[in-house]
Structure 1
Amino acid sequence: MIADFHFLRPWWLLALLAAPPLIRLIGRRTDMRSRWEGMIAPHLLDHLLIDRGGSHRFRPVHLTAALIAVAAIAAAGPTWERERPPFVEDTAPLAIAIDLTATMYATDVSPTRLERAKLKVQDILDLRKGARTALFAYAGSAHMVLPLTDDAALVRTYLAALSPGIMPVEGKDTAKALRAVEAGLANETVPGTILFLTDGVERKAFAAFEQYRGRNDVIVLAVGTAEGGPVKTAGGGYLTDASGARVRASLDIDALKALQNGANVQVATVTLDDSDVRWIARRIQSAFAQKIAEGQTRWRDAGWWLTIPIALFAALWFRRGWTVRWAGFLLVAGLALAGSKAEAAESRFSDLWFTPDQRGRRAFERGDFQRAAEHFADPAWRGVALYRAGRFQDAIDAFAQEDTAESYYNQGNALMHLDKPKEAVAAYGQALKLRPDWAEAKANLALAERRNKQKEKQEEDEQQEQGADLPPDQVQIDEKGEKGKEGTVQAGEQTADMWMRNIQVSPADLLARKFAIEAKEGAP
């Protein structure tokens, strides 16, 4: 414990330097002997002084110096132990990477390896209610399906849409999947767990696991048997080789053992009961607790205990006659703060007295919307500040954290600035469902609908003009299929934003298009 003792904010200890000069400056002003010794002979001065011992008694300046010293130590943040957060199993994030290679359709595990893996994921979600889970898919390429979310229903929706058919690149690249998942967890403030659900890890990927030095724990849950089984196809048949014989996929147990022995990876195989799921949940909790013990959390600030003596010292100031002349202290304090930027000093001072929302409101009233957005904790006010700063997409994300009529109305306004009238129509519609008689929302809805019609007509005209010059061998996609009109778009000009606007497609189609675009653009 003694070896771990240190200060979280040691620069506050510089305030200790102010105490001795303060005592000396105030002491010289109140020491009558030092003030008159140059003008009156010493043998006469002893008889003229009424209180000879005045320079040695306890005075308010000593109390003030003690208060400065104790406050400086408290502000410096003395600490000697780490703070362990409660509910460890709920705060540990989990990223699940599902293997979508063709062999995951093998039937040695009923009904197929992939379906069994999906059932295991659902069991994990049930066991970790309220915990955050991310979903990734990989084959020859690796893609994020969902970022960390505590919405289990959303995870289940996209989990059901996963199949080998949506992957744009054949083969298996587990090393690329590991890098993609690690990148997805890079901004997390706490360590998590990466879970691979796969029917095997190729040996060429072993090096990536052996060299992995991330703070997240890695688990591989192998799905399949050593005996193997035939592999189904998407059409309901069975995969065959060049000779027409059925392809059998077996689980390489030796390779999995070699992976566990050569890398810091926990490996297990699926079971018929839920013992594997419970083992994973315990492993997530224990790995997180171990990371906490290794220093992946904050130190406990013990400085607040010193507020008790500070309060006792402050109480003595109510005594009659206990006053201090502050000119000397202010001079010393000014010298101690020399060299620091005024703006930074003001910010640190305001942090002591104002809540984040209060600091955000002060910046907002000064017209500094960028800084106001950084301070606001309230999502509505943060959204307004981002909106005023011109960061409309960030404002939408902030407003979306609340399910109120005002939130949807503000989202609609921001969407109109981004020229997304279709989404704005939906947002205004939601606002009017919650507040039917809102005149402003009705007026904005009419503007959004009119703009949406104009934009749709412009897109149709552009597609028709583009289609006239389109070579016969180009891919044609009906981007406006919901209107029943034919349009042509060159495949190279499609973007992720275009796909996301097409909200009529199924999750599987949406993921297939998203993955294809990411693979073409070289995304991990």
Structure 2
Amino acid sequence: MIGDFHFLRPWWLLAILAAALLVFLITRRGDARTRWKDLIAPHLLDRLLIDQQSRRRWQPVHFVALVIALGGLAAAGPAWQRQQPPFVEDKAPLAFVIDLSATMDAIDITPSRLERVKLKVQDILKQRPGARTAVFVYAGSAHMVLPLTDDASLVNTYVGALQTRIMPVAGKNTAKALTAAEQGLAREDVPGTILFFTDGIEPAAGAAFKRPAGNNEILVLGVGTEEGGPVKTGEGQYLSDGTGRVLAKLDVAQLRDFGRDTGIAVATITPDDSDVRWVTQRIRTHLQARLAEGQMRWRDAGWWLTLPLTLLSAFWFRRGWSVQWFFAAALLGGLLLPGKAEAADRSFIDLWLTPDQQGRLAFDKGDYARAALHFEDPMWRGVALYRAEQYGAALDAFAQLRTPESFYNQGNVLAHLDRLDDAAASYNEALKARPDWPEAKANLALIEKLIKERKEDEEEAAQGPNLKPDQIQFDEKSGKGKSTEVDLAQETADMWMRTIEITPTDLLARKFAIEAEGVKP
């Protein structure tokens, strides 16, 4: 244990030198002998100086220096023990990376390659109750479906909604998918696992898998058969190349070569649960190996020094012991305590306000675009985006919740997007849960009126060619183009993301398309 003792941030030990220098300068400035030695003879100076003992007493500067030194020592992060994971050995983070290229619709395994992957995901989740799981998908582009979450039902909902048609870029870019998954696990303190479900890895991706993946292990589970099968594109329709149906085959030999060249563990999907057991065992073994190697964060023991720092700071209130700049020194010492030093890369306000609190401050000032960047609560983020007139992004934020308020707000956004039928459907969903909601009733009535007027206009436009040439008809219908402004419900920050039941497949398709264009939703 003594041999493991070290400082996590040793540069803060310079504060000890600064404290010693402070004592030296203040003591030298207050030394009467030093001030008068050039003006009074030494044998006379000894007789003139009084209260020699008082100079040896503890002075305020000594306490200030001690506070600075202890604060520097605490901020340096003394450590000699490793942090253990806050969960059992089979709860390591796991990222599913699912191939959604067109060949994943091949039916050489029933009901199809992609559908079999969905079943395997369910089986793996059952083996890891309470564990955190993320989901990524890729074809020619790579996208995050879900960040790490311990909600297995949410993962199953999103994975169940996956279709190859939602990918905006055709092809297969496995290297880009690996980068996205690594970024998703980058902030994890505990070693995790990245599991690929794919029916093939392009040779160009080999270089990306040869570089280190940090503490994360990469697994590849091949999906398909060597005999292959036709690729289904619709009901009774199959992919063809002009000479007949395309037969998608799993190149098992190429996968094995890939595993041998990169050192990545590779297996193929099986009809039974042996592949699931292989995955869960690899996850458990990897975490145990990393724990044995000490690949865990060191436990910062500097916070124990806050106790003596607090006691020493009490001397500031003693009469005659005040130092004018002591409060500034104490504040500086407090900011340099463990945890604060680790957050040195964050802005000062992050030390005092949560992202939602920062968002509310910007919201109250009318800076809605900036507020949306801070809000983590989907409802508040959606409100801010709505006020900033970013209706597409606001719709995505509200769609993360399934409360009456979220449906109501979705209706408001859809009305601004001129999607009147969808807006009416959202208001109806809100009224199912809150039948006596007057604002929702009023907005629904207005939208239904606009829909009716639009249909009448379309019918009149369709009858236009039958009018006599000398007949002129003016549309004087009132209410056309009428706009309305409705207030969004003010919601507190206690709403959490729940499973989305409103066409999650189409929602993901929209999200991926926007991301592929380089615009964040």
TM-score (norm 2): 0.64
Q: Do the aligned partners of 2:6 and 2:78 also contact (CA within 8 Å) in 1?
A: yes
CA change 1:14–1:47 in 2 (3 A) is same
Q: Do the aligned partners of 2:221 and 2:269 also contact (CA within 8 Å) in 1?
A: yes
Once the two structures are TM-superposed, the CA of residue 206 in structure 1 deviates from its matched residue by: 3.2
In structure 1, distance between residues paired with 2:366 and 2:518: 41
Q: Do the aligned partners of 1:100 and 1:137 also contact (CA within 8 Å) in 2?
A: no
CA change 1:4–1:84 in 2 (3 A) is same
Q: Per-residue CA shift, 1:55-86, capped at 9, x if unaligned?
A: 22212221111102212332354556664543
- Secondary structure of the 1:219 match is strand
Matched AA of 1:307? T
In structure 2, the partner of 1:95 is 97
In structure 1, the partner of 2:324 is 326
Pair 1:70 & 2:67 matched: no
- Secondary structure of the 1:306 match is helix
Once the two structures are TM-superposed, the CA of residue 44 in structure 1 deviates from its matched residue by: 6.0
CA change 1:426–1:330 in 2 (3 A) is same
In structure 2, the partner of 1:261 is 260
In structure 1, the partner of 2:308 is 309
In structure 2, the partner of 1:480 is none
Q: Per-residue CA shift, 1:414-470, capped at 9, x if unaligned?
A: 5555555444444444444444444334334444445566777889999999xxxxx
Q: Do the aligned partners of 2:96 and 2:135 also contact (CA within 8 Å) in 1?
A: yes
In structure 2, the partner of 1:179 is 176
- Secondary structure of the 1:196 match is strand
CA change 1:125–1:34 in 2 (3 A) is same
In structure 2, distance between residues paired with 1:188 and 1:77: 25
Pair 1:208 & 2:205 matched: yes
Matched AA of 1:91? P
CA change 1:407–1:37 in 2 (3 A) is farther
In structure 2, distance between residues paired with 1:300 and 1:460: 73
In structure 2, the partner of 1:440 is 439
Q: Per-residue CA shift, 1:128-173, capped at 9, x if unaligned?
A: 44543426475xx677694557565566567667788999999xx6
In structure 2, the partner of 1:276 is 275
Matched AA of 1:267? V
Instruction: Judging by fraction of residues, say which structure has more helix.
Output: 1
In structure 2, distance between residues paired with 1:362 and 1:507: 32
Matched AA of 1:259? F
Matched AA of 1:127? Q
Over aligned residue pairs, what C-alpha RMSD do you find?
A: 5.7
Q: Per-residue CA shift, 1:282-321, capped at 9, x if unaligned?
A: 3245456767899997664433222122123224446x43
In structure 1, distance between residues paired with 2:404 and 2:23: 61
Moved more, 86-95 or 414-423: 414-423
Moved more, 231-240 or 437-446: 231-240
In structure 1, distance between residues paired with 2:41 and 2:135: 86
In structure 1, distance between residues paired with 2:353 and 2:502: 48
- Secondary structure of the 2:99 match is strand
Once the two structures are TM-superposed, the CA of residue 193 in structure 1 deviates from its matched residue by: 0.9
Match runs of 1:78-227 below 5 Å: 78=78, 83=83, 85-87=85-87, 89=91, 91-97=93-99, 100-101=102-103, 104-106=106-108, 116-129=116-129, 131-134=132-135, 136=137, 146-148=145-147, 176-180=173-177, 182-183=179-180, 186-189=183-186, 190=188, 192-198=193-199, 201=200, 205-212=202-209, 213=211, 215=213, 217-223=217-223
| Structure 1: gaps spanning 5 or more residues | 338-343, 466-502
CA change 1:251–1:285 in 2 (3 A) is same
In structure 2, distance between residues paired with 1:127 and 1:330: 54
- State the number of aligned residues: 460
CA change 1:192–1:232 in 2 (3 A) is closer
CA change 1:457–1:517 in 2 (3 A) is farther
In structure 1, distance between residues paired with 2:395 and 2:158: 23
Matched AA of 2:135? A
Matched AA of 2:303? W
CA change 1:220–1:364 in 2 (3 A) is closer
In structure 1, distance between residues paired with 2:243 and 2:441: 67
Matched AA of 1:255? Q
- Secondary structure of the 2:319 match is coil
Moved more, 325-334 or 431-440: 325-334
- Secondary structure of the 1:89 match is coil
Q: Per-residue CA shift, 1:70-110, capped at 9, x if unaligned?
A: 1233235455666454346353222222665289323xx66
Q: Do the aligned partners of 1:15 and 1:69 also contact (CA within 8 Å) in 2?
A: yes
- Secondary structure of the 2:91 match is helix
CA change 1:236–1:422 in 2 (3 A) is closer
CA change 1:454–1:242 in 2 (3 A) is closer
Q: Do the aligned partners of 2:10 and 2:77 also contact (CA within 8 Å) in 1?
A: yes
Q: Do the aligned partners of 1:98 and 1:196 also contact (CA within 8 Å) in 2?
A: no
CA change 1:90–1:330 in 2 (3 A) is closer
Q: Per-residue CA shift, 1:346-393, capped at 9, x if unaligned?
A: x95554445555555555555555555555555555554555555555
CA change 1:14–1:96 in 2 (3 A) is same
Q: Per-residue CA shift, 1:474-510, capped at 9, x if unaligned?
A: xxxxxxxxxxxxxxxxxxxxxxxxxxxxx999888x6
In structure 1, distance between residues paired with 2:419 and 2:237: 44
In structure 2, distance between residues paired with 1:15 and 1:452: 71
Once the two structures are TM-superposed, the CA of residue 124 in structure 1 deviates from its matched residue by: 2.3
CA change 1:111–1:512 in 2 (3 A) is same
In structure 2, distance between residues paired with 1:236 and 1:383: 42
CA change 1:292–1:50 in 2 (3 A) is same
CA change 1:69–1:129 in 2 (3 A) is same
Once the two structures are TM-superposed, the CA of residue 278 in structure 1 deviates from its matched residue by: 1.6
Moved more, 80-89 or 32-41: 32-41
TM-score (norm 1): 0.64
Q: Per-residue CA shift, 1:220-248, capped at 9, x if unaligned?
A: 3335566x48769777799999999x999
Once the two structures are TM-superposed, the CA of residue 277 in structure 1 deviates from its matched residue by: 0.5
Once the two structures are TM-superposed, the CA of residue 24 in structure 1 deviates from its matched residue by: 5.0
CA change 1:308–1:395 in 2 (3 A) is farther
